[in-house]
Structure 1
């Protein structure tokens, strides 16, 4: 893993406790938490959290992260909450949503850690091949989704399968982040 940056997808209805935890916890380890989203040609967008409707301003677009820039990242995280559902939107129903294309590019890089927690698994619906045959955990409500993607569900709070780390719920963000940090530290 070349970089010290972690790309964390963000959109409205994010789980505030999880996102705030990543912001501070990764910084403690000398890692840069880079919150990325689809900015729709704008310089920034302010998203609102799910529980407290806390504002979160995002200035980075995953659409601007080309393959060379992706080398600067140690991990890509798809967080819990409704983030992944909102990022699955595409105006062209015959094309993959841009966030799913970004995720596909991340999965094509074995040296880049991929972290998916809780309902983040929804972002894989248009690209189930990235999870086919992989061991993972997820929110109990997504057990059927995981099986439909061809993944093997493991009833644990955090599951590691090569370059994929999954967490059961946003309330397990501390365990999930610990696993990512440990892997990045080598």
Structure 2
């Protein structure tokens, strides 16, 4: 059965492969993907610090409803989750999505948004290593593993973990 997956990003600073590879994985598996962002228009992806492609926004996060989606993917990039943390609608959407029990997959720096949403207390996860103090301060247990599943939360460390991240996300959708 086809599922509807929300990909939530800020308007720029998104690590391209952390958006495009999970997107391809879910759409190749027959699911529908939608790009949510803090503003309408387009988002700017990056290959590390270099501008890459732009992608069209399907829905502003402030107009989105958790009920319309079966899973949430939070791509990384340093600037992307840092900007999302400052957007009240994005933080509220993430908080509600985690509380819904539906799968939430976050890679690299994306757990910063989970920290801001205050949903990590008692949860075990991984991320880019520089986030470990923030995760611990938010009540989470940080670990250095390729992919970590804790309830509905799926996390990975970096683009090198994308094959395992994508496979675990697809398993959660089946």
Task: Pick the aligned partner of 1:79 from 75, 78, 91.
Answer: 75
1:13-45 CA-to-partner distances (Å, cap 9, x unmatched) read 111122221222211111112110112xxxx32
Task: Pick the aligned partner of 2:111 from 112, 115, 121.
Answer: 121
Structure 1 stretches of 4+ moved >3 Å: none
The structure whose Rg is larger is: 1
CA RMSD of aligned residues (A): 1.7
Task: Pick the aligned partner of 2:95 from 74, 82, 104.
Answer: 104
Gaps of 5+ in 1: 91-96
Q: Is the 8 A contact 2:2 2:30 kept in 1?
A: no
**Higher strand proportion (structure 1 or 2):** 2
CA distance in 1, matches of 2:151, 2:81: 22
TM-score (normalised: structure 1) = 0.84
Secondary structure of 1:49 counterpart: strand
Match of 1:36?
A: 36
Secondary structure of 1:131 counterpart: coil
Structure 1 window deviating more from structure 2 (56-65 vs 175-184): it is 56-65
Number of residue pairs matched?
A: 169
Q: Is the 8 A contact 1:22 1:33 kept in 2?
A: no
Alignment of 1:1-186 (within 5 A): 4-11=3-10, 12-39=12-39, 44-51=40-47, 52-53=50-51, 54-66=53-65, 70-81=66-77, 82-90=79-87, 97-110=88-101, 112-128=102-118, 130-185=119-174
Gaps of 5+ in 2: none
TM-score (normalised: structure 2) = 0.89
1:154 deviation in Å?
Answer: 2.0
1:40-77 CA-to-partner distances (Å, cap 9, x unmatched) read xxxx32222222422222131121123xxx23322111
